Amino acid sequence: MKIRGIIPAMVTPLNENGINEEGTRKLVRHLIAGGVHGLFILGTNGEFHTLSKEEKIQFAKIVVDEVSGRVPVFAGAGDIATNKVIELVNEFAKIGVDAASIITPYLLKYTDEELIHHYRVIAEQTTLPIILYNIPPNTRNFINRHVFSELLKIDSIIGIKDSSGDLENFKGYLELNHREDFSLLMGSDSKILEALQLGADGSVASTANVVTKTDVSIYEQFVAGNIEQARQEQASIDDFREACKCSTIPSGLKYCLRAIGQDVGLPKLPVLDLTKEEKQQVDQVLQKYVQAEGFTLKVEQ
């Protein structure tokens, strides 16, 4: 499986009872209508770390059902314990998920050999394709060149999402990759175009939840050879990215989605909703994207 294009790091719509099924289906339809090339669920912006195993399975079932094969679905199955990852990956395989994204274990700092062994055992005891997820600022663990080169030897590991924010690190992955079937995906939204120019296959982008058409255009303009237009599209998401940084992930993103009519609910505690003042600031930024994205704004008090 070769993964290409813009893949939103989709938020998880919630309500007082847990997973919001109708909100989830509506968001899936919205994103597919925006031209995305896949859906990345149960990642950091999807609040995977706050959800129970049952909620993850329920959510994945709804997404896969609503997508109905139109785009691939990649689901986060990461955990601290190797056996828990294996259990969830095998559940996702039954549902029809296309590949499992597996973040490095977190909380503790692991050795290179422990990380390699973790992924190797998962690959041996599962059947789904695996996407590595490198986000060292959040996990304290880093898929370095040695770890990456060893994991490239495992056929069922088919890609990596790099959210390190370090382009030199991404270049290292590109240099080491010798497989035509392995995909390198940028996880830092500010560097989508730079990564594509280096040789990336696409991006898993949280901003694509809201400025969907703009993010997709970065990729499509690049593929078409319209580099200056792609550069303009890339620069145009800067204000939105900054607006989402005013709060803890994914509070800002969820507010923006509610503001454009998506019923995604609030983030799970301990993350709080935006303050009234923060909402007003974000509303001003969102106004800049109304024409390009074609949405209308619903102001919250």
Residues marked active site are found at 133, 161
What are the residues facing 6 on neighbouring strands?
203
Q: 157-162 and 130-134: which strand pairing?
A: parallel
Percent helix / strand / coil, the chain, rounded to 5: 50, 15, 35
DSSP assigned state of 9: B
Strands (E), the chain: 5-8, 14-15, 18-19, 39-41, 73-76, 99-103, 130-134, 157-162, 183-186, 202-205
How far is 149 from 233, CA to CA, in rounded Å? 34
Are 71 and 37 within 8 A, CB to CB? yes
How far is 103 from 117, CA to CA, in rounded Å? 14
